[in-house]
């Protein structure tokens, strides 16, 4: 809790204003006591470390250590664009430090008051100054990485001078580390490295695929600066860990300056943002100075020839991901027609729901209703684009859940007659197509906006509601590993829209299937089972439905029922790799079923050798039979497909240990613990070795 106004700290600083409160501390504006009469007051900023009384001793020590590290970092920084440290002190058992007070407003506050995108030229000039501050800290020895660059941590004075504040999670770069000690930051502005690893293009981060271990470096702050610019110039928070698609920034702010280069129209500042926010750090600007130069070229008085960044320069090349559209997905992957998951190129089945995939399949356009005198069914007005943090002024509130676990339907709205003379949409499909493109590009807030617009212009209610559900669900999936609250909130919204779609078209298999997936994600297993059984009635020969029924039964501990459903799916399609893997996993834990497990999992691995889980589970089955060499052979195949799974290395370590190859076992244990320091199998073997 913040201290009262008027409290005196360290005998000489009187609190006159609370500047900010957060999970890690409170910042006060204080006036120095005892200044000579007639002289203007001296103001400072005092940061207080907040420690919850219920915090464990370990977490308390970590918080104090982080606070002291911030003080140590600030002691050595002297730059006009960085608030200077004045004095640390302790009082009443609490920790404080005094800093230079920066008069003005944060860019977050400026953006909030503007209620729209900020002027392009002014943003560029502010960001040039930020680059100067970043260049200073990045060139320290060792370099200092800010890690929490965002509009709220950039102050602007009345004469438009910029200063960086809040070095609370900044760190010194350590070239000997493989990943960060702590993965902190604000998710909207955080680079992929903030999560401790990066994944290959088209791959989804998960517990089984954590990605290649990396640590944040100077280029991570470059990403955050690009994300900050995106927010300031569009008034939309960027989607977490996403590179904006080509044209996406300009679409949100058509007033941005463009130039003509040959036959192409280019928005220079958009190009800078896209480059800064590349997923691969090697494709971003390699220094803040390189980005500063590029930003200067975006100003109106820059010579046109300097806008096109030369290809031969690694610090200037603009790399833009290809947008392949809604049907084929991005990066060559195949989009599942049921759940929207982007699978690897050449995949035969969706890795998430088991749906058979068709190369080159397209999404069928909806049928447009004949122009009638009634407006389409109204969906809830979108209050704000989906954001990683709820907007406090208008939070998104999921509908209450009834005692039986069902999500309550929203009240029916009367269908109102369209006033005479109201012009009809020239092309009601334009917004729908834009929504599909935004969804394929993972720009979920834009997809929702476009689908709602399409609905208002006459696209069928079912298609609009169904795709609104898809957008919410896919957004929820994108934050599943990083924000459980946001994941659940968006799954509830998705379930609402799929329910609404089914009220319009009760026999729609896709909506029923998606609803079951949402219920399963929310751990509402009885409702999920009901939804999939209803889908089964509509499509009794769809193996994907039996796959889901089997998984839901298994998650409820109903092993016999799960086996029955999975076997029924195999009767329809004996080569369904994901069903075979699920069945093989069950057989491993059943008495006298190890031969069946090995046979089933080997079949799955032969059908789709790129499914590393098939090889991994096959290795586990051989391990249970104590066939260590056969197990190693299968696990090496799994490692070839996925080199970043701690579970594979720990399993290989167990095999080597039992083969009396302790040196190899130690190496595998080391690899497993580097990827996952909490891997139980590796920790147990380490003690034995």
Residue with tokens 């609490």: 94
Residue with tokens 């220079």: 268
Q: Which residues contact residue 346 at a Cβ distance below 8 angstroms, ignoring those fewer than 6 apart?
A: 334, 359, 610
- Residue 207 tokens, joined: 């517990």
**HEC profile of 9-49:** ECCCEEEEEEEEECCCEEEEEEEECCCCCCCCCCEEEEEEE
Looking at the DSSP bridge assignments, the partners of residue 97 are 47, 88
Between helices 559-572 and 543-555, what is the axis angle to 10°?
Answer: 170
Distance CA(222)–CA(147), nearest Å, equals 10
Q: How far apart are CA 330 and CA 347, in angstroms?
A: 14
- Full DSSP string of 485-514: HHHHHHHHHHHHHHHHHHHH-TT-HHHHHH
**CA separation for the pair 182, 193 (Å, rounded):** 11
Scanning the structure block, which residue is given the tokens 């370990």?
58
Inter-helix orientation angle 218-234/268-276, to 10°: 140
* Other CB atoms within 10 Å distance of the CB of residue 56: 9
Counting every residue written for the chain, the total comes to: 689
What is the DSSP secondary structure assignment for residue 388, as one 8-state letter? S
Half-sphere exposure of 92 (CA within 13 A, CB side): 10
Answer for the pair 80, 55: CB distance below 8 angstroms, yes or no. no
For residues 105-122, one letter each, b for 16 or more C-beta atoms within 10 angstroms of the residue's C-beta and e for the rest, the string is bbbbebbeeeeebbebee
Torsion of the alpha carbons at 317, 204, 578 and 470, rounded to the nearest 10: -100
Closest CA to 516 of 548, 540, 555: 548
Helices (H) and strands (E) in the chain, counts: 23, 17
Residue (of 136, 192, 193) closest to 164 by Cα position: 136
List the one residue out of 185, 512, 177, 205 whose CA is nearest residue 341: 205
d(C-alpha 451, C-alpha 501), whole Å: 13
Task: Find out whether 678 is annotated in a ligand binding site.
Answer: no
Which among 177, 184, 174 is positioned nearest to 148, based on CA atoms?
184
Q: Percentages helix, strand, coil for the chain, rounded to the nearest 5?
A: 45, 10, 45
At how many degrees (to 10) do helices 662-675 and 680-688 cross? 140
Binding site, by residue number, is 47
Which residues line the annotated binding site for ATP? Answer: 47
């Amino acid at each position: 809790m913040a201290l009262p106004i008027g409290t005196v700290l360290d005998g000489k600083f009187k609190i006159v204003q609370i500047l900010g409160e957060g999970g890690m501390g409170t910042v006060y504006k204080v006036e120095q006591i005892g200044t000579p009469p007639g002289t203007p007051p001296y103001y400072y900023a005092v940061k207080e470390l907040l420690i919850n009384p219920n915090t464990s001793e370990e977490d308390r020590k970590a918080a104090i250590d982080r606070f002291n590290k911030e003080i140590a970092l600030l002691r050595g920084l002297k730059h006009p664009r960085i608030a200077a440290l004045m004095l640390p002190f302790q009082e009443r058992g609490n920790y404080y430090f005094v800093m230079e007070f920066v008069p003005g407003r944060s860019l977050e506050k400026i953006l909030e008051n503007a209620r729209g995108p900020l002027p392009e030229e002014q943003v560029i000039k502010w960001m040039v100054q930020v680059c100067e501050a970043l260049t200073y800290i990045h060139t320290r020895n060792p370099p200092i990485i800010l890690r929490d660059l965002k509009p709220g941590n950039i102050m602007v004075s009345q004469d438009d001078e910029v200063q960086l504040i809040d070095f609370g999670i900044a760190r010194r770069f350590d070239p000997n580390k493989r990943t960060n000690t702590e993965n902190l930051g604000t998710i909207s502005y955080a680079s992929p490295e903030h999560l401790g690893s990066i994944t290959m293009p088209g791959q989804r981060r998960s517990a089984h695929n954590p990605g290649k271990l990396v640590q944040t470096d100077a280029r991570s702050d470059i990403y955050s600066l690009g994300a900050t610019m995106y927010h300031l110039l569009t008034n939309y928070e960027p989607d977490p860990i996403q590179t904006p698609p080509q044209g996406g920034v300009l679409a949100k702010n058509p007033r941005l300056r463009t130039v003509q280069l040959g036959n192409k129209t280019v928005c220079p500042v958009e190009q800078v943002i896209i480059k800064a926010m590349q997923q691969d750090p090697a494709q971003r600007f390699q220094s803040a100075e390189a980005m500063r130069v590029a930003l200067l070229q975006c100003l109106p008085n820059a010579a046109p020839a300097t806008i096109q960044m030369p290809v031969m320069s690694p610090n200037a090349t603009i790399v833009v991901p290809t947008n392949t559209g809604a049907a084929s997905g991005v990066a060559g992957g195949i989009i599942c027609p049921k759940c929207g998951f982007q699978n690897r190129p050449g995949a035969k089945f969706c890795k998430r729901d088991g749906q058979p995939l068709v190369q080159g399949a397209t999404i069928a356009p909806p049928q447009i209703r004949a122009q009638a005198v009634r407006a389409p069914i109204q969906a809830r007005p979108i209050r704000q684009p989906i954001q990683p943090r709820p907007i406090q002024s208008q939070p998104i509130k999921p509908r209450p859940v009834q005692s039986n676990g069902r999500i309550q339907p929203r009240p029916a709205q009367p269908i109102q007659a369209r006033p005479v003379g109201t012009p009809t949409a020239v092309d009601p499909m334009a917004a729908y197509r834009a929504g599909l493109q935004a969804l394929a590009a993972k720009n979920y807030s834009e997809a929702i906006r476009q689908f709602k617009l399409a609905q208002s212009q006459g696209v069928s209610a079912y298609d609009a509601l169904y795709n609104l559900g898809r957008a919410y669900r896919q957004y929820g999936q994108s934050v599943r590993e990083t924000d459980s609250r946001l994941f659940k909130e968006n799954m509830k919204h998705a379930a609402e829209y799929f329910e609404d779609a089914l009220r319009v078209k009760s026999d729609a298999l896709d909506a029923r299937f998606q609803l079951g997936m949402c219920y399963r994600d929310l751990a509402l297993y009885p409702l999920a089972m009901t939804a999939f059984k209803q889908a089964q009635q509509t499509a009794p020969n769809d193996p994907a439905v039996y796959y889901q029924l089997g998984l839901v039964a298994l998650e409820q501990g109903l092993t016999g029922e799960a086996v029955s459903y999975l076997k029924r799916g195999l009767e329809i399609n004996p080569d369904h790799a994901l069903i075979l893997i699920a069945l093989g996993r069950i057989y491993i834990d059943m008495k006298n079923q190890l031969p069946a497990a090995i046979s089933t999992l080997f079949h799955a691995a032969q059908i789709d050798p790129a499914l590393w889980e098939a090889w991994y589970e096959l290795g586990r089955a051989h391990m249970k039979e104590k066939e260590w060499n056969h197990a190693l052979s299968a696990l090496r195949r799994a490692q070839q497909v996925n080199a970043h799974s701690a579970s594979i290395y720990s399993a290989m370590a167990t095999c080597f240990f039992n083969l009396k190859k302790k040196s190899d076992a130690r190496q595998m244990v080391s690899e497993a613990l580097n990827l996952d320091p909490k891997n139980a199998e590796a920790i147990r073997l380490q003690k034995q070795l």
